[in-house]
Chains A and B, each alone.
Chain A
Amino acid sequence: QKEVEQNSGPLSVPEGAIASLNCTYSDRVSQSFFWYRQYSGKSPELIMSIYSNGDKEDGRFTAQLNKASQYVSLLIRDSQPSDSATYLCAVNIWDDMRFGAGTRLTVKP
């Protein structure tokens, strides 16, 4: 089992819709969780970090964490074509960050 798993996609949503990105992780001791956005040919850019169970909102982005289910998700409301990118889930496992392979999101105008 991979340490961090994501659906590779591609996930396609129409402009204005909600995009839902999911991630599961294997190590129960993980305490820190991150979502990064990566445009093609660019480096990862931090969107959200979450440390406690529940929801964390920042603008159009909401991160959700459920440690009991070892599940973290990212919701993007009012999706825009500029949101089209690969979204990487990252989990801090014993001070080392482990990344999922990413989910490619396409927002169609």
Chain B
Amino acid sequence: EAGVVQSPRYKIIEKKQPVAFWCNPISGHNTLYWYRQNLGQGPELLIRYENEEAVDDSQLPKDRFSAERLKGVDSTLKIQPAELGDSAVYLCASSPSAWGLTNTDTQYFGPGTRLTVL
């Protein structure tokens, strides 16, 4: 079974430029997460999708960040314009999340995109 796929793996941009990250979750996984991980910290949730619906985007800086999961499968996270403080690793994860069933909330992570804003 293929794991979570993310691209690009690395991105270097100038501040104020836009950037987009793509994620394809594990087949059949309903729930998709975007996290940001700063050096020496644990992942911090940005947004959670249940199928195509964003059910928790409270931590997403909406002035510059946007995300979509139009067909309930793959997802795109965008930053426009990027700031120096956005330099981090952006992780995508997915889980089966079958409601009412235990052990289905385990999240599986993609390799991440390392963003450097100069």
Contact = CB atoms under 8 A, between A and B. Distances in A.
Nearest to B109: A43
Contacts, number: 52
A51 B91 contact: no
B33 A44 contact: no
Interface residues of B, number: 22
Interface in B58-117: 89, 91, 102-103, 105-112
Give the contact-size bracket for chain A. 20 to 34
Contact of A96 (B40, B48, B102, B112): B48
Interface in B30-56: 33, 40-45, 48, 55-56
Contacts of A90: 42, 107
Interface of B: 33, 40-45, 48, 55-56, 89, 91, 102-103, 105-112
Interface of A: 4, 8, 32, 34, 36, 42-46, 49, 51, 88, 90, 92, 95-102
